[in-house]
Amino acid sequence: MTTKQRFAHKVLQWKGWKFEGEPEALQIWQETQKCILIVAPHTSISDYIIGYYSLAALGKKAMFLINKKFFFFPLNLILNAYGGIPVETGKDKDFLLQIVELFEKSNRIFLTITPEGTRKKVTRWRKGFHLLTQATKAPLLLGALDYRKKHIILGNTFTITDDFNADMREIGEFYKDVSGKYPEQFSVHIN
């Protein structure tokens, strides 16, 4: 275990957080080098902090997509250090192609996505993680932060299909009993 992992474990212990999941899930998380990781609920900015230290404790670096316009000095130094990946957005930009190229060039990438797309309550999750998983052919891992129990829940690999709604019904089962920091702001996308 590296110094960074030990430090991350101490931070999580100090805050009262524990890992939860089947032993096979922990092994998958430790062995996986490239994946799309969806984490929910996302109701607070502190979700990122807990998630960052959770992945660091597992020897992984959380990476997230952010508009390229935010990568200016000195903010770019902070964003790079904490796993920010600059992407170009807009009508004329092929967003999926950028991510596919990123996965092809990278040996290790734990791309973390909050499928709600906001900290506010939504009734439908965004399809981006599903499209990215299909395009990159990377494994999809499910993760959750349960504030009620203070558990970091490690799920197994989820195999997506071409049917987003059917996949969301299954994924929703994983998240249905999880409580965000602000539980009233979280809802599972179920059709």
**What tens-digit pLDDT sequence spans the chain (191 residues)?**
899 999 999 999 999 999 998 889 989 998 999 999 999 998 898 998 999 999 999 999 889 888 889 899 999 999 998 889 888 876 556 878 888 999 999 999 999 998 887 788 878 888 889 999 999 999 999 999 999 999 999 999 999 999 999 999 999 999 999 999 998 888 886 55
Looking at residue 190, its pLDDT comes to: 56
Kindly calculate the radius of gyration of the chain based on its CA atoms and give it in whole angstroms: 16
Distance, CA of 57 to CA of 54 (rounded, Å): 5
User: What pTM, to 2 d.p., does this model score?
Assistant: 0.88
Say what the alpha-carbon torsion angle 51, 52, 53, 59 is, to the nearest 10 degrees.
110
Cα distance between residue 122 and residue 155, in whole Å: 23
CB 155 within 8 A of CB 174: yes
